[in-house]
Amino acid sequence: MFENFDVKEWASLKDYSTIKIGGKARWMVFPKDFIEVQQILKIVKNNNLKFFILGNGSNTLFDDDGFDGVIISLKKLNKIEFKDNYVDVDAGINLFALGQKLKMQGLSGLEFCYGIPASLGGFVYMNGGCFGHEIGELVEEVLVLKDDKLLVLKKENLKFSYRKSNLQDCVILKVKMKLKPEQSEIVEENMNFFFNKKKETQPCDLPSLGSVFKAVYGEKTIYVSKMIDTLGLKGVKIGEAEISKKHAGFIVNTGNATCKDFKKLVELIKTELAKENVYPELEIIMLDK
Ligand SMILES: Cc1cc2nc3c(=O)[nH]c(=O)nc-3n(C[C@H](O)[C@H](O)[C@H](O)COP(=O)(O)OP(=O)(O)OC[C@H]3O[C@@H](n4cnc5c(N)ncnc54)[C@H](O)[C@@H]3O)c2cc1C
């Protein structure tokens, strides 16, 4: 069905998620340009197949039984164009590679997210952020596929809020951002500063999906990781999934953790938080078979 594209049948999803969990996907397709994304989606629709758009898999928990449909990986969409202080970036590029390119170009603004193993498209979709910044602040324009049509959405049509964007019913193909000129050495210093801060506080050496739960905003903001820590749950393990000893908001894979282990740990955390009347939303995406 996808013989005209770069396709892997029965691809091991473990290799495409930063937590290294997951069974096999019936098809994993790697479009090389926007037209191929459109063509693949047309085949998906005509054949009534399930599909999932994959960035870098740093927020996606795959099922142990895999995925009975088409995973469309955008990792081959990774072109960058510079014009003055603007940068036009394909959605599949990962934030490490993008950070390095911006440093060489002498453009500043995105250093805060250096070290996050996300694709730019996934980060914009989630309005990812840290250290008081969110990616949405920098986005000027987005090229998307929506209802089979290519659309350019300008800043005034974009809505970003905490880990949300109004792009969640679109395929994000390209993102235009406005940055500031800066000496490469300074950009590099900033990148190292933020990455080192992450390495100090997060288990960057073990497979994970970042924070599992969103913070609960209300009269009083509840940072779920702090609460999990206070409840003494750091280090609790089910199978080979563990509530990180370094950052209680992360669940890490200490070996061969399964999706089942991960989900059981999530349920355990939810049960303990419910006893304190705290009901956080999941930040991660759980993709069922
Ligand atoms: C070690 C570590 C640290 C992290 N630190 C942070 C942090 O500081 N701040 C933060 O916000 N997050 C953090 N995360 C979480 C994660 O990196 C973000 O949620 C990120 O936005 C996910 O991007 P991705 O490309 O990996 O998305 P994926 O996991 O591939 O996909 C996530 C969701 O986005 C959708 N999606 C992906 N790309 C597109 C696209 N182009 N068009 C439409 N939909 C798309 C997918 O369908 C899915 O629903 C961290 C994760 C790890 C593993």
Q: What pLDDT is stored for residue 219 in this prediction?
A: 84
Nearest atom (ligand 1) to Cα of 208? 53
147 alpha carbon to ligand 1 midpoint, in Å?
23
Pocket of ligand 1 (CB under 6 A): 18, 52-60, 74, 91, 116-119, 121-123, 125-126, 128-130, 171-172, 202, 204, 208-210, 285
- Which residue is catalytic, options 163, 184, 188, 272? 163
On whether both 69 and 180 belong to a single domain, the answer is: no
Neighbours of 42 (CB within 10 A): 11
Q: Is residue 141 part of a domain?
A: yes
On whether both 234 and 247 belong to a single domain, the answer is: yes
Residue located nearest, by CA, to atom 2 of ligand 1: 210
Looking at residues 146-158, what average pLDDT do you find? 95
Q: What pLDDT is stored for residue 137 in this prediction?
A: 96
On whether both 193 and 211 belong to a single domain, the answer is: no
Is 211 one of the catalytic residues? yes
Q: Is residue 26 part of a domain?
A: yes
Question: Above 90 in pLDDT, residue 272?
Answer: yes
Q: Is residue 135 part of a domain?
A: yes
Q: Dihedral of CA 59/64/70/76: which sign? A: positive
Q: Is residue 1 part of a domain?
A: no
Instruction: From residue 94, give the alpha-carbon distance in Å to each of 57, 216, 270.
Output: 11, 28, 31
On whether both 99 and 194 belong to a single domain, the answer is: yes
| Contacting residues for 273 by C-beta, under 8 A, at least 6 apart | 224, 227, 228, 231, 279, 280
Which of 32, 55, 73 terminates a domain? The answer is: 73
- What CATH number corresponds to the domain at position 31? 3.30.43.10
Per-residue pLDDT of 63-84, as tens digits, reads 999 999 999 999 999 999 999 9
pLDDT > 70: what percent of the chain? Answer: 100
Q: What pLDDT is stored for residue 13 in this prediction?
A: 98
- Which residue is catalytic, options 58, 119, 211, 244? 211
Is 163 one of the catalytic residues? yes
Looking at residues 15-25, what average pLDDT do you find? 98
Q: What pLDDT is stored for residue 60 in this prediction?
A: 98
Residue located nearest, by CA, to atom 44 of ligand 1: 171
Is 165 one of the catalytic residues? no
Tokens linked to 116: 């996050």
Number of domains in the chain: 3
On whether both 153 and 209 belong to a single domain, the answer is: no
On whether both 160 and 224 belong to a single domain, the answer is: no
Residue located nearest, by CA, to atom 52 of ligand 1: 210
Looking at residues 150-176, what average pLDDT do you find? 96
3-state secondary structure of 259: helix
For tokens 């750091």, name the residue.
234
Nearest atom (ligand 1) to Cα of 19? 53
Q: N- to C-terminal Cα distance for the chain?
A: 20
Q: What pLDDT is stored for residue 139 in this prediction?
A: 98
Question: Above 90 in pLDDT, residue 18?
Answer: yes
pTM above 0.75, yes or no: yes
Instruction: From residue 5, give the alpha-carbon distance in Å to each of 1, 104, 151.
Output: 9, 33, 24
Question: Above 90 in pLDDT, residue 90?
Answer: yes
Per-residue pLDDT of 204-253, as tens digits, reads 999 999 999 999 988 889 999 999 999 999 999 999 999 999 999 999 99
What's the rounded Cα separation, in Å, for the pair 6 and 34?
A: 14
Q: Dihedral of CA 146/152/156/162: which sign? A: positive
Q: Which of 193, 187, 175, 191 minimizes the C-alpha distance to 108?
A: 187
On whether both 60 and 86 belong to a single domain, the answer is: no
Tokens linked to 275: 């006893």
Q: What pLDDT is stored for residue 157 in this prediction?
A: 96
Range of the structural domain that residue 115 is part of: 80-199
